Chain A
Amino acid sequence: MREKQPDRRRVLAGTAGLALAVTLRPAVGASLPRTETTEDAIRRFAGSARIRPGRVALDLPPLVENGNTVPLGVTVESPMTPDDHVRRIGVFNERNPQPNVVTVHLRPGAGRAQVATRIRLADTQRITAIAEMSDGTYWSGSADAIVTLAACLEG
């Protein structure tokens, strides 16, 4: 994740006393083509179903200290009963080499539709979570994260 990229973007602005610099983390393997578009990956998950915004909340730090390990929580509004529950949650990225982040399968016995994990973000981007409900409807939510580059990297 930390290899030097020729297209690293830099913004450098002076402040009193100490220069402020913001170095945005470059895309991992920016020269590699993406394996699949985000749209294609989402369609593989949801088929041709309509995906409505709502019911899905992401907990993602807006400013990421290191893209190698980013805490992510996803919560879906659902009573999680046998008649009305979340079947699957698919999480997708825009700018990693591969669009899938994680897919989880839930049962009504979970009690809550609430999961957490840690993900990699190769660059500043939007993360989208899509929930498939037991009635066959799909709902989505998203969150943006700014990924910065650590100042002192391994030599």
Chain B
Amino acid sequence: MPHPAPAVFAALLLAASAAGAGEIAPADRRSGFDQMGAETRAIQRDDTANPGMLAVADGAELWARPPAAGAPACADCHGADGTGLRGVAARYPAWDARSDRPIDLQDRIRQCRRDRQGAVPPAYESPDLLALTAFVALQSRGEPIRPPADPRLDRGRAEGRALFAGRMGQLGLSCAICHDDNWGRRLGAAAIPQGHPTGYPLYRLEWQGLGSLQRRLRNCMTGMRAEPFAYGSPEFVALELYLAARAAPLPVETPAVRP
């Protein structure tokens, strides 16, 4: 299995004890876009060059097509072009009364597929789920991330915050050590971003394809030598709740491009 250079992380850990910048104030929040090279920013900026738009086009087709004979297409309820969902992705994760828990955008789409469209919900990281999620999230591009002020979400958000700040894995690192205390510095040759989930699903050059926020979080956890949470786990939804609050009011960038 591939691993990041352990020496890099070990050095970061030593540095961390002296740091402690803490949480990032709303005015200081920056998208990872700002730290990318000009060439990578140019790929994201141009929809005719952004390979993430290939998946968005797939999503538009899935949106319009009934998943099974006699079942409604997404477009039948939400409108043909998806613009009726403008701003929706900027509010997720949100409370789902039916399942009595917080739910993220991809789980909302899976739930819709299963409960309202009579289809098998697409698997996590499957091309169909990434494409539909990217198509829905694109409708909110440019909208500020606006987590709902719903007290039922408070507990999950607090859990997510604790997960973000807590040390995990064999290296004893935490999300916060990199993304609160050391953003703007370098880990290896790569700039450490603040770690805001503004562009998911996004096209990562390393992946050579589109991937979800949970895939990215699993990468981070592997880097910290921690056992990654399972796709769709409550821990990930809790982390996503906190990350959305931590990123607001940065604008949605889907489909973003990152190194």
A interface residues (Cβ-Cβ under 8 A, vs B):
1-4, 8, 10, 12, 14, 17-23, 61, 63, 65-66, 68-71, 148-155
User: Is the CB of B190 closer than 8 A to any CB of chain A?
Assistant: yes
Q: Which residues of A contact B15 (CB under 8 A)?
A: 17-19
Chain B minimum-CB-distance residue to A69: B205
Decide if A148 touches B189 in the complex (CB within 8 Å).
yes
A19: contacting residue among B1, B14, B190, B208, CB under 8 A: B14
CB distance A21 to B206 under 8 Å? no
Count of chain A to chain B residue pairs whose CB atoms are closer than 8 Å in the complex:
115
CB distance from B37 to the nearest CB of A (A): 5
Give the Cβ gap from B205 to chain A, nearest Cβ, in Å: 4
Q: Which of B183-223 touch A at CB < 8 Å?
A: 185-190, 192, 205-208, 218-223
A151:B39 contact, CB within 8 angstroms: no
Chain B residues closer than 8 Å to A21, beta-carbon distance:
5, 7-8, 11, 186-189
CB distance from A122 to the nearest CB of B (A): 14
Task: List residues of chain A with CB within 8 A of the CB of B186.
Answer: 18, 20-21
| Minimum C-beta distance from A62 to chain B (A) | 10
Chain B residue contacts of A22, Cβ below 8 A: 188-189
Tell me whether B18 is interfacial, beta carbon within 8 Å.
yes
In the assembled complex, which residues on chain B have CB atoms less than 8 Å from the CB atom of A153? 2-4, 206, 219, 223
Q: Give the interface residue-count category, chain B.
A: 35 or more
- The prevalent SS among residues of A at the interface is loop
Q: B228 contacts the other chain (Cβ, under 8 Å)?
A: yes
Among A2, A21, A61, A66, find the residue whose CB has the most chain B CB atoms closer than 10 A: A21
Q: Which residues of B (213-259) have their CB < 8 Å from a CB of A? A: 218-223, 228, 259
Determine if B36 is an interface residue (Cβ-Cβ < 8 Å).
yes
Judge whether B259 and A10 touch: CB under 8 Å. no
CA distance A106 to B222 in the complex (A): 47
B207 to chain A, nearest CB (A): 7
User: Which residues does chain A contribute within 8 Å of B38, judged by CB atoms?
Assistant: 61
A65 touching B259 by the CB < 8 A rule? yes
B117 at interface, CB cutoff 8 A: no
B123 at the interface (CB under 8 A from A): no
| Chain B residues within 8 Å of A155, by CB | 1-3, 218-219, 221-223, 228
Encoded as 1 (CB less than 8 Å from any A CB) or 0, chain B from 1 to 41 comes to 11111011001101100110000000000000000111110
Give Cα distance in the complex from A117 to B207, angstroms: 18
CB distance from B224 to the nearest CB of A (A): 9
A64 to chain B, nearest CB (A): 8
Q: Which of B18, B36, B39, B206 contacts A150 (CB 8 A)?
A: B206
